[in-house]
Amino acid sequence: MPKKTTQRKEASYDQSLGFRSDEDLARAESYLGSASTGLALSQSFFLTSIFGFIISATLMYSGRLGETWGFAFCLVFVMMFIASFISITPKGNDL
């Protein structure tokens, strides 16, 4: 019985982009493009992040909240604050 030879299809790998094929690149572009068209976060989300950070930092500083939990809460509220700035979109089409 003759041996079966398998031909491996070599994937082209572009080191500068880090993707293996044009299909992967197109899929990533469509995904990243759809992420930038989202709506801005609400003002209450922004205010919650500010007040949450102030309250958790105050409780941590006063000793009512442990340092580990206080740092974790402060980190979450800072990430919320940054996310609210990232999601700001200009009004109208004039960029």
Q: How confident is the prediction along the chain (95 residues), in pLDDT tens digits per residue?
A: 566 655 555 555 555 655 456 777 677 667 666 545 566 788 899 999 999 999 999 999 999 999 999 999 999 999 999 999 888 866 655 44
> Which residues have CB under 8 Å from 59's CB, separation 6+?
65, 70
| pTM score above 0.75 | no
pLDDT score, position 19: 47
What distances in angstroms separate CA 41 from CA 22, 30, 56, 57, 76, one per listed residue?
A: 33, 22, 22, 23, 16
pLDDT score, position 23: 75
